[in-house]
C-alpha cells in the first residue's frame, strides 16, 4: 500500500458568522496549502471540529475538498463518530466521491479501553470503504484510548485488508519507533505532533506526517524535513525551535483549534468562528496574539 511522504494538513472547517458551514473559501484554502508544500489534507478531524458537524455537513465538505484540490493532492476524510453506522456511511461516501483515503480516531463515547474493542471499531468503519486506505488516528488525549499501538498493530495485522497505518499524535517517540519498525516497516506511521517533527525524524525514521499548525506554518515545518534530508541539522533545529515558538503562542489562546483558526484570518483567509462549546477569541485577544506573533517574526515566515 502506498505510503505518504511529506506533510498532510488537517484543515479547519470554514463557518459563516452565524455558524453555518461555508464552502466558499475551500478552493483558495487548497491553493494556499499546495503552494506551501503540503501533500494533502485530512479533513473533518479534530482541527476541523468534525464531531460537531452533521453527517450531511461532513459529506458536503468532503465533496468540496475533492473538487477543489490540485491533481495529486491527497484528500483523506476523517469518518470517526460515536455511531459506527454513521462512520460506515461517511466512509462509503468518501470512496464514492474519489477521496484518497479515510481515517478515524477512537470514539470518545463509549470510551474504548481494550485492544479488541478498538480493532473491531476500526474493522467496521474500514469495511465501508474497502478500496481506500484506512488510517487509525491515535490521539488519546481526546478520547482516553491510552492503548499500546504496537499491540494494536499486531492485532490488526491481516484482519483489516485496507489498514494502512496510524496517525500518531502522542508523546512516546519510543513507541512510535517500535510501531514504525514492526514487521519491517509494514505500516505507514504518520507523525502527528508538529512540535516534535525533528526528533521523530532522527529517532523514528518518520517520512510523513499530518499536522494542524501546518495550516499557517506549513512552509517552515516542511523545511524541517528538507533540511534534515540534506544533512543541515542546525537549520533543521532552528526551524523546529521556531515552530515551537509558534505553538507556544497559540497555547496562550486555547490552542490550535481556536487560536490557530484565528491566525488564518491574520494571514488573509478568514475561516470564521468556532462552534459551541469552543470559546471564540475576542478582538482584544486577536490583537494580543498578533503582537506575540510579530515578536517572533511569524508573518515574515508563515504560509503565504
Residues labelled as active-site residues? 137, 167
484565528: which residue's cell? 262
Measure the CA–CA gap between 243 and 213, rounded to whole angstroms.
8
Beta-bridged to residue 285, according to DSSP, are none
- In angstroms, the Cα distances linking 61 to 20, 21, 87, 136 are 12, 8, 15, 20
Instruction: Check if the beta carbon of residue 124 is closer than 8 Å to that of residue 162.
Output: no
Measure the CA–CA gap between 40 and 45, rounded to whole angstroms.
14
220: left (phi over 0), alpha (psi -120 to 50) or beta: alpha
Q: Which segments within 106-151 are labelled E, that is strand?
A: 134-138
Measure the CA–CA gap between 304 and 267, rounded to whole angstroms.
7
Instruction: Check if the beta carbon of residue 43 is closer than 8 Å to that of residue 23.
Output: no
Residue 114 CB burial class (10 angstroms; 0-12, 13-18, ≥19):
exposed
Measure the CA–CA gap between 200 and 135, rounded to whole angstroms.
19
Instruction: Check if the beta carbon of residue 125 is closer than 8 Å to that of residue 91.
Output: yes
Measure the CA–CA gap between 12 and 180, rounded to whole angstroms.
28
Instruction: Check if the beta carbon of residue 96 is closer than 8 Å to that of residue 56.
Output: no
Amino acid at each position: 500500500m502506498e505510503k505518504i511522504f511529506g506533510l498532510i494538513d488537517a484543515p479547519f472547517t470554514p463557518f459563516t458568522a452565524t455558524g453555518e458551514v461555508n464552502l466558499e473559501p475551500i478552493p483558495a484554502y487548497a491553493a494556499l496549502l499546495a503552494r506551501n508544500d503540503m501533500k494533502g489534507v485530512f479533513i473533518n478531524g479534530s482541527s476541523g471540529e468534525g464531531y460537531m458537524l452533521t453527517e450531511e455537513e461532513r459529506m458536503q465538505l468532503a465533496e468540496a475538498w475533492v473538487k477543489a484540490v490540485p491533481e495529486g493532492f491527497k484528500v483523506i476524510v476523517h469518518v470517526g463518530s460515536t455511531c459506527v453506522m454513521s462512520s460506515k456511511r461517511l466512509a462509503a461516501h468518501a470512496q464514492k466521491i474519489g477521496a484518497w483515503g479515510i481515517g478515524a480516531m477512537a470514539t470518545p463515547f463509549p470510551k474504548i479501553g481494550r485492544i479488541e474493542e478498538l480493532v473491531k471499531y476500526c474493522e467496521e468503519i474500514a469495511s465501508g470503504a474497502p478500496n481506500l486506505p484506512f488510517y487509525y488516528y491515535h490521539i488519546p488525549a481526546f478520547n482516553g484510548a491510552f492503548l499500546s499501538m504496537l499491540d494494536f498493530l499486531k492485532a490488526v495485522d491481516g484482519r483489516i485488508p485496507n489498514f494502512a497505518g496510524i496517525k500518531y499524535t502522542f508523546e512516546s517517540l519510543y513507541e512510535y519507533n517500535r510501531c514504525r519498525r514492526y514487521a519491517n516497516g509494514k505500516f505507514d506511521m504518520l507523525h502527528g505532533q508538529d512540535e516534535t517533527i525533528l526528533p521523530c525524524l532522527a529517532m523514528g525514521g518518520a517520512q510523513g506526517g499530518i499536522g494542524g499548525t501546518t495550516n499557517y506554518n506549513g512552509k517552515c515545518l516542511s523545511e524541517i524535513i528538507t533540511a534534515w534530508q540534506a544533512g543541515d541539522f542546525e537549520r533543521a533545529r532552528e526551524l523546529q525551535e521556531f515552530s515551537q515558538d509558534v505553538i507556544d503562542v497559540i497555547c496562550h489562546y486555547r490552542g490550535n483549534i481556536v487560536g490557530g483558526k484565528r491566525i488564518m484570518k491574520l494571514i488573509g483567509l478568514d475561516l470564521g468562528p468556532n462552534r459551541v462549546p469552543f470559546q471564540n477569541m475576542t478582538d482584544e485577544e486577536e490583537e494580543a496574539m498578533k503582537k506575540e506573533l510579530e515578536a517572533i517574526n511569524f508573518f515574515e515566515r508563515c504560509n503565504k
